[in-house]
Structure 1
Amino acid sequence: MRFLVVPDSPAGEAVVASLRVPSRGTPPDRPAPRVIPHRSGRPWIAGWWRDEDVVWAAAGERRVAVLGRSAATAAWLADYAARLRGLDGAAGLPWELPGSFHTAAVVDGVVSVQGTLSSVREVFHTRLLETTVAADRPDLLAGLTGAAFRPEWLASRLVAPEPPWPVSERSLWEGVETLEPGCRLEVSPDGRGRVRRRHRPPAPDVPLDEAAGRLREALRDAVAVRAHGRTMLSADLSGGMDSTSVCFLAAERVERLVAVTCEATDPAADDAHWAALAAKELPRAEQVLYGVEDFPRCFAGLLEPDPDLEGPFPAIQTREILIRQARLLSALGSSRHLTGHGGDELFQPNPGYLHDLLRRRPLRAIRQVRAGRAVHRWRLRPTVAQLLDRRSFGDWLGRDAGRALDRPIRGVMHAPLSGWGSSYRMPEWATPDALASARRTLQETAAAGAEPLSPVRGQHLTLQVVRQGGALVRRIDRLSSRLGVTLEAPFLDDQVVQAGLAVDYADCLRADRYKPVLVDAMRGIVPQRNLGRGSKAEFSADVYAGLRRHRSELLELSDGMRLAGLGLVDPGALRAVLMSPPPFPHRLVPLLGTLACEVWLRSLEAAPAPAAAPTVHP
């Protein structure tokens, strides 16, 4: 699916007319765009989608559309539209309707559009023909405006493990903006755009028992939306608690569930064992096992361009694996696949909550810090310094986050957190110009008044990783949808995210319990022995195996690097790492962002040239 939302005006009509001309954002093999009209007959929403992806209705002057995954019907939406008293009512639709979807509305001639809290459904906007235009992807807008990417912002995408918020979500296309989280975009009939807040994170104070009940119902509804009208679904069954929970909820809703388990490279990994235990208890399910030999290794296919030009692909090392998985799922007869993405981000309390707990319940915080030091080997002095830190988000982002970028990466594990984020580092192969550019971007972003996603540091970090997980699902879905399989992540729905954010983190920061709110929510649904799993696999063996298998292609990628041509990377230093990978996995993390940026730059070169900008005809 890809779409535009425009106001009821000649300019909006001209923008939609230009979609018929092939450009960077509109592949030449696309048919003419589908159109949902304003009451005047001019286009309101235009793009490419399947019937099941969009539901809309009108009630007098009002219009409401849901684009994505929901169980809404046109009759239900018509009734909802009739009851609207303004755009605030349309913005509240995700709290009444489970699922994952964009919401678009027209009330009193004003158009609004919004995505999801997790960014699985994101909104981008720009100015074109003196009017504000919104879309679900930035490259579509860049193709219409003829915009180039901004190389001065690309350096910040080399920051590992991810650039800090809000730099991580900034569109790399000139003149194309990303809608702020928890906001909606309003466009008046004269084309002026305004961003309005629709949501603020809930106070994280709901007791564990109550929170587990809310989460159970939200997850059940989220999975039910994916099963609506279907007799068959496929789902990941990795053996982890997240995918296992999704599988058992899905098995309640469909006649046939294909539970997919993939073997890990590391023979010590026990995920397959736990997946087998769960599969024995799954009703109406068949487990499909894939071995290591059924998939490419990590880093396969990076010499091939990426068809998705939004920006660097977040998990570039697994791109070919994801494509192969989609082909295998399609061969099994699946067109909708469920995943546990978002579970780790939402239910595994991050160390940032220790900072907040220390001020709220000091004795409990001290006990948890001691347990964390024993498990993670945090050093005492940097741990205490970070827990006592009182810097504002702006001060940290504009000064301290950038100051640490060139420090040795071996120090990132010494403390549970670093201000309002993790310990951000530039790769050792980044040039001095790249380092200076990344620091400048952080400083300028802070000076522009950047605010955290939540005033609670732990909740801010949770929202940051939830949105990173949502962006990954968004991009994976585009890959798999090209092969006829949509990817669905129930944990990243607004109602589920809201339930997870509201949990009292003091009840979840427990060294003796793993994801306690999810465990309690799934009690009686998932077998007790799976809920009591005390181990967790890690996948660095897959990364090292992929580096060995595809070293020659990666070395070829480092020749004639576009990043080097921009003055951002020293290819010789990169080749040295490829030839002799470091023994500690966290030192390989910077490699992923660099490769993603390089593949993206090469993909831009292979894409069709932008079409001429549209014009309004008299």
Structure 2
Amino acid sequence: MPMAFAIMPDRDIEPRIEAALHDLVGATVLTHRSGRPWVLGDEQFVHTRGRNVDVVMVGSQLKSDEPLSSAVKQDRMDGLAALAHRFVEFDTLLIGRDGTKTRIYAPVSQRRSVFWTRIDEIVLAADSQYPLAALNQFELDLGSLAGRLANSEVTHPFLRRPIWRNVHALGFGEEVTIHDDGRTASSRWWMPPSPTEDLDSTGPGLKIAMLQALMLRVADQDRVSADLSGGLDSTTLCFALAELGVDLTTFYMSSANDLNNDSKWSDRAATEIASRHVRVPYLQMLEEIDEAVPATVGAFPEGPSAMAKTAASAIPLQRILGASGSRLHLNGHAGDALFGQVSSLPWSFLRTNTRRRFRWLRKYRKVNRIPTLDMLRMLGARSTFADELRSMARGEFTKQRGSLAGYADWLEIPNFGPMHTATARQRFSSLCLTELESGVTSLSPDRTQHQILSYLSVHGAVVRRMNALSPQIVFDSPFLDRRVIDVALSLNHADRTRQSPTKPLLAAGRPPAMSIEYFFRRDKGDYTAEVFSQHQQIRSSVKDLFGGGSFLGELGLIEDHEVIRVANSYSPDGAAYTDILDLEFAERWLRSLADEKAKIAVGSMQ
């Protein structure tokens, strides 16, 4: 659901700032013991007050404060971590406060999160970036924007960098402590487990974790909808939902390509679980996103990105599935990262003690047609996370994009091309230097776990942004549940690497009614035709936006004539068209900024 609460410190705040925050978020719902406003908004919450500590939980699944009251007997801030491990999941946030500071815990994937800003040494927090950006007059962080234009947001640490100046965010598994004197400190309250367990132990554990995650989400839901794409992740979830006896509507986006066998597998699963199955052409979804979803700051308060179109699917899904009575839609986001082969796995597999691993790696190289030199460079990678960040800070973005030698890298090279200016590269390099000097570290000391967690961060952000667009349906992926993540990450690299069947852990944890045949399919869905078709439809829009001088061009980040040239060129795999679609969305979003600033200027911020 749209996020709507803010947190204020126990200090006197300039009246115009307080009035603006009330206008942007809502009325005061909880006060400090001093009587000053503490929590603002219209969110469902439970609250308990001890002698020294106040504790608040925000979220849709909360029914009473009884479990919270019994758990808060310690009456100390250092007892909050145990509460977080018990309660902070799905859309639940935990807020604790003693006499001088507030501490906030969010779900580890940040599928719901908290952001903060400092104004006149007073720190204000909210679960949406919009009110905080408004308080800062919507000033852009051009380094972050430059990175977004080159798709850097898909890798840690850039995803946790808001597009707004003076707005800060949590990273994966983090909490933040905000002191009344203006100091802030974020730290990890969750850490990944060691990847040491085998399939025999993790398979049953995954089955239990998935059911627990689903039961939390479907509690009190009369009807539920879910993606059923024909892929393994969504299919497994739908079988698990059927096992729970959920009244289920399943959703499939059909391809114009008759050879796309996802349709066959999706139809088979829908028949076996007896769901109401809704089919909508993928191209129709893309067209509705372009026509019905505004590329505005109000709709996308976290800014443009390569994930914007995916998040925007919430609007047509809300219309299509709302008719079924569903108020909760589940998807299989993060399943590929948790259960499939990420690109660094061969590097990690080599460093296990598994017998015949060299034979497997030779076969892997031949099957995937990897040049021997690239394979050796990838397997022999020795760079650290800091090394790679330092290289980007020096502006070194020139690794061969067709080469597989960088598949084991900690960081993905940003996709800077002829459309991007030297200024864009320089701004992003400066951002990398800022991150390096901040002391940021990898998400895990293990390369493969770091890569997986980086992808999970992306999926958490997508779910969060979908919910910001959706007032009627809650969107979520049970694979982002901490219990599922813990089990999946504990699987050793040897069992994760040898994908027979495909996604072996998911196969081991699948519901009994789901045939193992699904995990031995060798075909793969393809939607390239729809990408080409959408590109053709927006070519005139690209010419209008970039032909007469764009906002991105005025900022010095994009060469307008290069955008038009690429838009009129042929891309064999459609990758360049995806870049154009992202730039077109970013330009439209930037043009909405002036309207948003004018709206704030005539309000209480004036």
- Residues 257 and 286, structure 1, Cα contact 8 Å, conserved in 2: yes
Q: Which residue of 2 aligns with 1:478?
A: 468
- Residues 297 and 542, structure 1, Cα contact 8 Å, conserved in 2: no
- Residues 337 and 485, structure 1, Cα contact 8 Å, conserved in 2: yes
| SS at structure 2 position matched to 1:7 | coil
Unpaired runs of at least 5, structure 1 = none
- Deviating more after overlay: 443-452 vs 312-321: 312-321
Q: Which residue of 1 aligns with 2:225?
A: 234
Q: Which residue of 1 aligns with 2:254?
A: 263
**Aligned equivalents of 1:20 and 1:400: distance in 2?**
41
**Aligned equivalents of 1:197 and 1:303: distance in 2?**
35
Listed as ranges, the matches of 1:500-539 within 5 Å are: 500-539=488-527
CA displacement at 1:330 relative to structure 2:
1.5
CA displacement at 1:337 relative to structure 2:
0.9
Match of 1:282 among 273, 296, 309: 273
Q: Which residue of 1 aligns with 2:429?
A: 439
**Aligned equivalents of 1:384 and 1:137: distance in 2?**
45
- Residues 381 and 408, structure 2, Cα contact 8 Å, conserved in 1: no
**Residue 369, structure 1, aligned to residue 357, structure 2:** no
Aligned residue type for 2:36: R
Q: Which residue of 1 aligns with 2:107?
A: 116
Listed as ranges, the matches of 1:240-389 within 5 Å are: 240-283=231-274, 285-292=275-282, 294-297=284-287, 300-301=290-291, 304-306=294-296, 307-318=299-310, 321-361=313-353, 364-389=356-381
**Aligned equivalents of 1:190 and 1:446: distance in 2?**
27
For normalisation by structure 1, the TM-score amounts to: 0.89
Q: Which residue of 2 aligns with 1:42?
A: 36
Q: C-alpha root-mean-square deviation of aligned residues, in Å?
A: 2.9
Listed as ranges, the matches of 1:66-85 within 5 Å are: 66-70=57-61, 73-85=64-76
1:109-139 deviation digits (Å, cap 9, x = unpaired): 5311122221212221121342222222223
CA displacement at 1:369 relative to structure 2:
2.8
Listed as ranges, the matches of 1:175-254 within 5 Å are: 175-254=166-245
CA displacement at 1:468 relative to structure 2:
0.7
CA displacement at 1:72 relative to structure 2:
5.6
**Aligned equivalents of 1:613 and 1:389: distance in 2?**
55
CA displacement at 1:373 relative to structure 2:
2.1
Quickly say closer, same or farther: Cα 1:2–1:210, change in 2 above 3 A: same
**Residue 461, structure 1, aligned to residue 463, structure 2:** no
**Aligned equivalents of 1:363 and 1:344: distance in 2?**
26
- Deviating more after overlay: 588-597 vs 223-232: 588-597
Q: Which residue of 2 aligns with 1:5?
A: 7
- Residues 298 and 542, structure 1, Cα contact 8 Å, conserved in 2: no
Match of 2:122 among 131, 134, 138: 131
| SS at structure 2 position matched to 1:508 | helix
Match of 1:591 among 580, 584, 595: 580
- Residues 196 and 492, structure 2, Cα contact 8 Å, conserved in 1: yes
CA displacement at 1:226 relative to structure 2:
1.6
| SS at structure 1 position matched to 2:533 | helix
Q: Which residue of 2 aligns with 1:549?
A: 537
CA displacement at 1:294 relative to structure 2:
4.5
Quickly say closer, same or farther: Cα 1:371–1:604, change in 2 above 3 A: farther
CA displacement at 1:592 relative to structure 2:
4.9
Quickly say closer, same or farther: Cα 1:366–1:13, change in 2 above 3 A: farther
- Residues 250 and 278, structure 2, Cα contact 8 Å, conserved in 1: yes
1:136-182 deviation digits (Å, cap 9, x = unpaired): 22232121233511224321222246453212321121211112332
**Aligned equivalents of 2:394 and 2:138: distance in 1?**
28
**Aligned equivalents of 2:478 and 2:347: distance in 1?**
29
- Residues 156 and 163, structure 1, Cα contact 8 Å, conserved in 2: no
**Aligned equivalents of 2:150 and 2:295: distance in 1?**
22
Aligned residue type for 1:334: S
- Residues 114 and 128, structure 2, Cα contact 8 Å, conserved in 1: yes
1:487-542 deviation digits (Å, cap 9, x = unpaired): 12111122222222222122110143311111111141433333443333133222
- Deviating more after overlay: 266-275 vs 157-166: 157-166
**Aligned equivalents of 1:327 and 1:302: distance in 2?**
11
- Residues 139 and 310, structure 1, Cα contact 8 Å, conserved in 2: yes
1:194-229 deviation digits (Å, cap 9, x = unpaired): 323322221111222212222222211111112111
**Aligned equivalents of 1:303 and 1:486: distance in 2?**
17
Q: Which residue of 1 aligns with 2:419?
A: 429
**Aligned equivalents of 1:583 and 1:220: distance in 2?**
43
Quickly say closer, same or farther: Cα 1:154–1:503, change in 2 above 3 A: same
1:408-444 deviation digits (Å, cap 9, x = unpaired): 64x24x3360521334331321112222322333234
Q: Which residue of 2 aligns with 1:577?
A: 566
**Residue 19, structure 1, aligned to residue 10, structure 2:** no
| SS at structure 2 position matched to 1:10 | coil
Aligned residue type for 2:468: R
Aligned residue type for 1:604: L
Match of 1:105 among 68, 76, 96: 96
**Aligned equivalents of 2:387 and 2:525: distance in 1?**
37
- Residues 141 and 176, structure 1, Cα contact 8 Å, conserved in 2: yes
Quickly say closer, same or farther: Cα 1:368–1:95, change in 2 above 3 A: farther
| SS at structure 1 position matched to 2:56 | strand
- Deviating more after overlay: 536-545 vs 61-70: 61-70
| SS at structure 1 position matched to 2:486 | helix
Match of 1:489 among 459, 471, 477: 477
- Residues 145 and 613, structure 1, Cα contact 8 Å, conserved in 2: no
- Deviating more after overlay: 461-470 vs 286-295: 286-295
- Deviating more after overlay: 438-447 vs 493-502: 438-447
**Aligned equivalents of 1:302 and 1:575: distance in 2?**
25
Aligned residue type for 2:421: T
**Aligned equivalents of 2:416 and 2:292: distance in 1?**
22
Aligned length: 599
Quickly say closer, same or farther: Cα 1:433–1:357, change in 2 above 3 A: same
CA displacement at 1:403 relative to structure 2:
5.2
- Deviating more after overlay: 588-597 vs 373-382: 588-597
Aligned residue type for 2:417: P
Aligned-pair identity in percent equals: 28
**Aligned equivalents of 1:76 and 1:525: distance in 2?**
35
CA displacement at 1:402 relative to structure 2:
6.1
Aligned residue type for 1:271: D
Quickly say closer, same or farther: Cα 1:578–1:48, change in 2 above 3 A: farther
1:7-38 deviation digits (Å, cap 9, x = unpaired): 333339985543233xxxx3xxx7x4352333
| SS at structure 2 position matched to 1:213 | helix
- Residues 298 and 547, structure 1, Cα contact 8 Å, conserved in 2: no
- Residues 501 and 507, structure 2, Cα contact 8 Å, conserved in 1: no
